[in-house]
Amino acid sequence: MFLMARREHRLVFKNIDVRGYTRDIACYQKHGGYEILKKGLAMGGAAIRDEVKKSQLRGRGGAGFPTGTKWSFIDPAKTTKPIYLICNADESEPGTFKDRQIIHKDPHQLLEGMILSCFANGVKLAYLYIRCEFTEGWKIMEKALEEARAAGFLGKNILKTGYDLEIYVHRGAGAYICGEETGLIESLEGKRAYPRIKPPYFPAVLGLYMCPTIVNNVETLCNVKHIVEMGGEAYANIGRSNNTGTRLLCVSGDVVRPGYYEFPVGALTLGQLINDVCGGIRNGNRLKAVIPGGSSAKVLKAGEVYKIKEKGLDGKMLDKEVGLEDLRLDFDTLAAAGSMAGSGGVIVMDHTRDMVECLANISAFYAHESCGQCTPCREGVLWLKKILGRIAEGHGREDDPALLKEVADRIAGRTICAFGEAAAWPVQSFISKFKAEFSARIARNGSASRHDTISLLH
């Protein structure tokens, strides 16, 4: 068991970093590329959708919504308008760098997954919305599309099945909010990436150009290829129930071996990831805190114990007390611990980290990225940043921690999109879990910051 946990289960990352593996189509095909596409085209769209549903695949973008269910909102047979599929490659959550690896090192895997997903849902036109800052990735994807077109995997009458599909790469508008599903759609339509008001909660009915639209993450679409390859049930056997398949994990921060890893969902605990896979905390330091799913996830503190309901062997729900390092890295466990699996970005902090400055840094990011559409986020997030910057600079006030919490509480749940929560959750969790540290920082006011966080704040 111990050894099993340390061994990666590479599915999406199978060929990544394999010596001699290149991103051109010839290499991809040599490794069995586009064979699954042929299989999928022979299966038919409904069968693929069925397999994806059986696989219990959950979206890898951050929210973890079941992909099969998302797809089922659209019935290609009954829809008169065109159906669009958008690949969300606007990866910009701090601490997350998995999609970038796929784009840079195995672009055709993404295309194969995309083409299969498009075929399954009767999509004739799809977009790959790629983060503006991924300049290299954009060029790589354009080249990969060209190769796929030349090879007959895209365009008219794909592999003589009569199925037509075109995919365009659209470069993002250079903002975090462009990764929000509806903001992305607005941006793709040529407007400011202002997220749309909900409901409708999904763009399934009124999406791109007011047509039914599916938006999936890069990793999610790659997984579709593997589901078609092995079948939904076999895929569901990887990982745990309701938390199936593999998950790309991006570990950053104070560990010996940070980087990207792929494991079955829930196959290992946070402690195993940090200590066994990543070689432990660096410099022999102690673990202080972990942000388990990208910078917007609530922070978990070392030494915390969580009450979690878990299905026992007899099928009954059991209440269990679980320590931080024993938390399974899956959607449900992390949600039960009050945080989230999010985008898979695991940020590890050791005991030398100043929590005030860490939070000030996170808030500076969200204040910079708030789109400015709705009031609580536009005004509140910048306010959070300013208070935190002031505390970090040694001008804190006694009431500041309470004020920070109140401001954050008045943002979360009251905004147009989930950005409000993304900006408020770190503040809420840092303040409540590291209250003493904030108070101490305020008490020793006047002493300047030890780190260079302040330069980030201005």
Partner 1 sequence: MDQRLGTIRFLYSIEKNMSCCQTHSMNPWNHDVAKDELDLVDVQVDGVWLKMPKGLNVVEVAHRSKNFIPHYCYHPKLSVVGNCRMCLFEMGTPKMNADRSPVMGLDGKPEIAWMPRPQIGCATGITQGMGIRTDSPLVKDCRNGVMEFLLINHPLDCPICDQAGECKLQEYSVEYGTGASRFVEEKVKKPKNVDLGKRIVLDDERCILCSRCVRFASEVMKDDVLGFVNRGSQSTLTAYPGKSFDNDYSLNTVDLCPVGALTSKDFRFQMRVWFLKETKSICTSCGTGCSTTIGSREGKVHRLTPRENEAVNSSWMCDYGRLNIHYLESKDRLHRPLLKAVGEQFPGTWTDAIHRAAEGLGKVKPEEIAVVASGRLTNEELFVLKRLLGELGVTRVDIVKHNGQADNFLRSGDGNPNGRGAELLGLSSGGRKFSSWGAEIVSGKIRALLVLGGEDVVAAGIPASALQKLDVLLFSGILGNETSRLAHVVLPSAATAEKTGSMVNVHGRLQRMTRAIPAPGEAREDWLILRDLREACTGGNSLHSVEDVWKAMAGEVPQFTGLSWAKIGDLGVQLEARSSLSEGTLVRA
- Contact residues for partner 1, defined by CB under 8 A: 175, 192, 197, 367-376, 378-383, 386-387, 390, 397, 399, 403, 410, 413-416
| Cα–Cα distance measured from residue 406 to residue 432, given in angstroms and rounded to the nearest whole number | 12
Which amino acid appears at position 271 of this protein? G
Short-list 228, 273, 231, CA closest to 253: 273
* Beta carbon nearer to partner 1, 234 or 456: 456
Q: Which two tokens stand for residue 394?
A: 């040694």
Q: What is the DSSP string of 22-48?
A: -SSHHHHHHTTTTHHHHHHHHH-HHHH
Residue among 181 and 262 whose Cβ is closer to partner 1: 181
In whole angstroms, how close is the CB of 380 to partner 1 at the nearest point?
5
What is the nearest approach in angstroms of partner 1 to the Cβ of residue 387?
A: 7
Q: What angle do CA 75, 84, 14 make, to 5 degrees?
A: 95
> Least distance (Å) from partner 1 to the CB of residue 389?
9
- Give the three-class secondary structure for 160: helix
Least separation in angstroms between residue 242's CB and partner 1 is: 23
Query: Exposure pattern of 20-51 as b/e (b: 16+ CB <10 Å)?
Result: ebebebebbeeeebbebbeebbebebeebbeb
Shortest distance (Å) from residue 186 CB to partner 1: 12
Between 338 and 372, name the residue whose CB sits nearer to partner 1: 372
Q: What residues are paired with 253 via a beta bridge?
A: 348
**Token code pair at residue 96:** 């997350």
Rounded to whole angstroms, the Cα distance separating 367 from 373 reads: 13
Q: Select 123 or 423, whichever has its Cβ closest to partner 1.
A: 423
Q: How far is the CB of 182 from partner 1 (least distance, A)?
A: 12
Question: Measured between alpha carbons, how far is 384 from 415 in angstroms, rounded to an integer?
Answer: 16
DSSP 328: B
Neighbours of 380 (CB within 10 A): 26
The residue among 386 and 451 lying less far from partner 1, judged by its C-beta, is 386
Distance CA 433, CA 229 (A): 45
Distance CA 107, CA 322 (A): 39
Nearer Cβ to partner 1 (11/374): 374
Cβ at position 86, least distance to partner 1 in Å? 22
Rounded to whole angstroms, how far apart are CA atoms 44 and 37?
11
- CA distance readout (Å), 397 to 137, 170, 270, 355, 411: 45, 46, 36, 17, 21
> Cβ 382 to partner 1, closest distance in Å?
4
Q: Which is nearer to partner 1, 17 or 399 (CB)?
A: 399
Choose between 40 and 376: whose C-beta lies nearer to partner 1. 376
Q: Which is nearer to partner 1, 148 or 371 (CB)?
A: 371
Q: Is 345 exposed, middle or buried (0-12, 13-18, 19+ CB in 10 A)?
A: buried
State the DSSP code for 338.
T
Least CB distance from residue 385 to partner 1, whole Å?
Answer: 9
- Would you say 197 or 305 has its CB closer to partner 1? 197
Burial of 297 (0-12, 13-18, 19+ CB in 10 A): buried
Closest distance to partner 1 from the beta carbon of 352 (Å): 29
Task: Pick between residue 135 and residue 375 the one whose CB is nearest to partner 1.
Answer: 375
Cα–Cα distance between 323 and 310 in angstroms, integer? Answer: 14
Establish how many alpha carbons lie within 13 A of residue 312's alpha carbon, considering only the half-sphere containing its beta carbon: 6
- Cβ 411 to partner 1 shortest distance, Å: 8
